[in-house]
Amino acid sequence: MTTTADTVVHHRPPMEVVVPDEPLTEVLRRAVREHPGVVAVDFMGRRTTYRQLSVQISKAASALRALGVGHGDRVALVMPNCTSHVVAFWATLRLGAVVVEHNPLYSAAALAHQLADSGATVALAWSKTVPAVLEAQPSTDVRTVVAVDLARDLPTKSRAALRLPVRQARETAAKMRGPVPRDVRWWHRLVAAAEPSGIGTEPASDDLALLQYTGGTTGTPKGAMITHRNLVANVIQGEAWTGMKPGCETVYGVLPFFHTFGLTLCVAYAARIAATLVAFPNFDPDQMLAAMRRRPGTFLPAVPPMLDRLMDAAERSDASLTSFRYALSGAMSLPAETARRWEEMTGGLVIEGYGMTETSPVALGNPFTPDRRPGALGIPFPSTEIRLADPDGPLREATPGATGELLVRGPQVFSGYWNQPEETACQLLDDGWLRTGDFVRVDDDGYVYLVDRLKEVIVTGGFKVYPSEVEDHLRGLEGIEDVAVVGVPEPGRGESVVAAIVLKVGHTVDTVDLAAVRAWGEQRLARYALPKRLVVLTELPRSQVGKVLRRVVRDHVLRRDEAPPPGM
């Protein structure tokens, strides 16, 4: 096989970029003006050009305005990746309103908190999510819930196939649709009946564009306030980093758009370079390989387990992945074997990046050159500064050559947490430096390496799990006296969620087992947050002030894993 260096044009990014004083909507308007005939979105084979997308967005903006949405209002989007998600995102921004993204698999309790906190007045929800949104609605300011039929985004033949009287068609339809009360209106009907909207009042670059909820250091969901300028800066930085050619790229949208990683790298960045976004409702390697046959991808933002599963599927079916020139891996460490295997199978490059919701999201990255360093977070994005703070105080510089907390400053850094000035003051220093909560070291060439997480967040399969959130829920299970949730290494997924519990008097592992803990957890937690293992302790280790020492718990679990079985 030819080497990567022989098949990929290496691009060395600039140190600085110019961020224009314009809203993110101008990014899309420019793509429509300069590349109207390029396919903007390919959803399961249904193609929408930039010209057609512009018309749909205009009609959708009119539909939202008729629902009372205006400048500064919050609109909740609770749906998987699809064309409707893309349209609703841009239509909301066009009105100067604020997008609030939500995981469509969240429980009613989780949605209720976020909807109430954001003050969203309109919720556009996937039909399968509508019942949860309606259950949450009474405790929120949401006055209108609109149902989104995912099947309406499919090609005509695929929609017709869902009506066939066969089991496979019924099962597929059941996965895409859910029960919706008669009095709930449908998004596609509202958009179809609307007249194209005039431009109206354009948002300013410093206006709020997105409220993205993150658990942060405490596990308590907080709305990160991301402005138009933040997003414009990050997509310009991304364009400078990759050097991709406008109007010629195909971005595979397998990351969920309700995360900033997927929303910025797939939806916003694709528009910046007038690329075709191939959107998938969920990650399915076989669906991706089928899409590759009709529209080969050139750029894949992903998490390492996705890369591994896609390569496994390609090997089983003898499919080619050689159209992918670039892949950007994030959310968890990129294993060296995954990188080696990807570059052998594609002839392209895969690099690791680093960021967080508060940096919109990318702050560091490895360059798409032979200088990339496997295992490193990378170097600062253009126009991005970093410094290492003393672990005992963010206002002091770390000792040269020592480990310190990573601080970031740049145009992509968010403006604070929604209605949480104290949390904002803890995270965002007065001079614009963002505390990441990660301990890092920097080598002599300026490459940053992660040493440890100050935040005890567990990263499993690319998703973040906040231990305190899981613990708070598990404490409500009868029989559990106390609990500490930690992450331990799991090949291919980053970390595995482990719950260490202390049983109440009179209870045993026969009454409180892993199955019972997972069943209880399913009432409020996402599936990826459910413990995969259970460890029973007589007591939890605590500090002098009574705080549970999760690190000690984790070390105990790891020692158990290393101990030889009895009789050895």
Q: What is the pLDDT of residues 269-328, one digit of tens each?
A: 999 999 999 999 999 999 999 999 999 999 999 998 899 999 999 999 999 999 999 999
**Mean per-residue pLDDT of the chain:** 90
**pLDDT tens digits, 433-476:** 999 988 889 999 999 998 766 667 788 888 878 787 888 889 89
pLDDT above 90 (res 4): no
What pLDDT score does 219 carry?
55
Average pLDDT on 46-50 reads 98
Kindly state the tokens that stand for 97: 């309103």
The two tokens of residue 463 are 């998703």
Angle between helices 25-34 and 83-94 (to 10 degrees): 110
Beta-carbon contacts of residue 443 (< 8 Å; ≥ 6 apart): 376, 449
Q: What is the pLDDT of residue 8?
A: 62
User: Using CA atoms, how far apart are residues 442 and 448, in angstroms rounded to an integer?
Assistant: 5
How far apart CA 315 and CA 308 sit, in angstroms, is 11
Q: Pick from 90, 60, 85: which is nearest to 189 by CA?
A: 60
Q: Are 136 and 290 in contact (CB under 8 A)?
A: no
Any idea of the CA torsion for 358, 359, 362, 364, to the nearest 10 degrees? -110
Phi, psi of 489 (to 5 degrees): -55, 135
Indicate whether 531 pLDDT > 80: yes
- Residue 132 phi, psi dihedral angles, 5° rounding: -65, -40
Collapse the DSSP code of 554 into the 3-class scheme (helix H, G, I; strand E, B; otherwise coil) and give the result.
Answer: helix
The reported pLDDT for the residue numbered 214 is 86
Question: Which H helix or E strand runs over 300?
Answer: strand 299-302
Percent of the chain with pLDDT over 70: 93
Is residue 104 packed enough to be buried (19+ CB in 10 Å), middle (13-18) or exposed (0-12)?
buried
pLDDT confidence of residue 218 = 46
Supply the pLDDT for residue 199. Answer: 61
Please give the pLDDT value at position 92. 97
- What pLDDT shows up at residue 211? 98
Q: Cα 139 to the chain's mean position, in Å?
A: 26
**pLDDT the model gives residue 396:** 86
Report residue 234 as tokens: 């990050």
CB-count burial class (<10 Å; 0-12, 13-18, 19+) for 8: middle
Percent of the chain with pLDDT over 90: 69
- Classified as helix, coil or strand, 546 is coil
pLDDT digits over 488-518, tens only? 998 888 899 999 999 998 888 888 899 999 9
Looking at residue 281, the DSSP 8-state letter turns out to be S
At position 195, the amino acid (one-letter code) is E
What pLDDT does residue 565 have?
A: 46
pLDDT at 82: 97
Segment 365-371 shows an average pLDDT of: 89
Average confidence (pLDDT) over 27-40: 98
Nearest alpha-carbon partner for 236 in 353, 364, 383, 377 = 383
DSSP codes of every residue in 475-534: TTSTTEEEEEEEEEEETTTEEEEEEEEEEPTT--TTTS-HHHHHHHHTTTS-GGGS-SEE
pLDDT above 50 (res 6): no
Mean of the pLDDT values across residues 21-43?
A: 98
pLDDT of residue 351: 93
| pLDDT at residue 56 is higher than 90 | yes
pLDDT at 177 (0 to 100): 82
- Report the b/e string of 351-371 with b at 16+ CB within 10 A: bbbbbbbbbbbbbbbbbbeee
In a 10 Å sphere around its CB, with 0-12 CB exposed, 13-18 middle and 19+ buried, how is residue 9 labelled?
A: exposed
The residue that leads in pLDDT, 565 or 531, is 531
| Amino acid identity, position 12 | R
How far is 529 from 469, CA to CA, in rounded Å?
Answer: 9
68 or 400, which is more confident: 68
The helix-helix angle for 304-317 and 285-294 (nearest 10°) equals 70
Tell me the average pLDDT across 189-208. 88
User: Is the bond preceding residue 361 a cis peptide, omega within 30 degrees?
Assistant: yes
Residue 72 has pLDDT above 90, yes or no: yes
Residue that wins the pLDDT comparison between 354 and 393: 354
| pTM of the complete model | 0.83
At residue 165 the predicted structure's pLDDT band, cuts being 50, 70 and 90, is: confident
Average pLDDT over residues 341-362: 95
Report the DSSP beta bridge partners of residue 404.
440
In sequence order, the 6+-apart residues with CB closer than 8 A to the CB of 177 are 127, 128, 149, 150, 151
pLDDT digits (tens, 9 = 90+) for 225-277: 999 999 999 999 999 999 998 999 999 999 999 999 999 999 999 999 999 99
Question: Would you state the pLDDT for residue 508?
Answer: 86
pLDDT in tens, 86-99: 999 999 999 999 99
Point out the least confidently predicted range of 55-64, 118-127, 538-547.
538-547
Distance CA 263, CA 271 (A): 11
Task: Of 64, 63, 31, 24, give the one whose Cα is nearest residue 48.
Answer: 31
pLDDT at 455: 65
pLDDT confidence bin for 523, thresholds 50/70/90: confident
